[in-house]
Amino acid sequence: MDSTQRFSTRVEAYVKYRPGYPAAMLDFLARELAMGPEAQVADIGAGTGILTSLLAPRVARVWAVEPNDDMRAAAKRLLAQVGNIGWLHGSAEATGLPTGAMDLVTVAQAFHWFDRAAFRQECQRLLKPGGQVALIWNDRLTNTPFLKAYEEGLHAYSGDYEEVNHRNLGEADFRAFFTGEYRLDRFENSQLFDLDGVLGRLNSSSYAPVAGTPAHDQMTALVRREFARHAVDGKIAFNYCTLVYSGRV
Cα separation, 103 vs 132, whole angstroms:
7
| Lowest-confidence pick of 9-13, 84-88, 141-145 | 9-13
Whether 93 contacts 118, CB under 8 Å: yes
pLDDT single digits (tens) 121-144: 999 999 999 999 999 999 999 999
| Mean pLDDT, the chain, whole residue set | 93
SS3 81: coil
CA dihedral sign, ordered 201, 203, 207, 212: positive
Amino acid found at 90: G
Answer yes or no: is pLDDT of 54 > 60: yes
Answer yes or no: is pLDDT of 3 > 60: no
CA dihedral sign, ordered 176, 179, 184, 187: negative
Cα angle vertex 197, ends 220, 187, to 5°? 110
Give me the percent of the chain exceeding a pLDDT of 70: 93
Distance set, CA 65 to CA 75, 147, 224 (Å): 11, 32, 37
Q: Which residues contact 192 (CB under 8 A, 6 or more apart)?
A: 235, 236, 237, 238
Cα separation, 58 vs 79, whole angstroms:
15
Give me the percent of the chain exceeding a pLDDT of 90: 84
Answer yes or no: is pLDDT of 60 > 60: yes
Which of 2.40.50.140, 3.40.50.720, 1.20.120.330, 3.40.50.150 is the CATH number of 3-141+166-190+240-247? 3.40.50.150
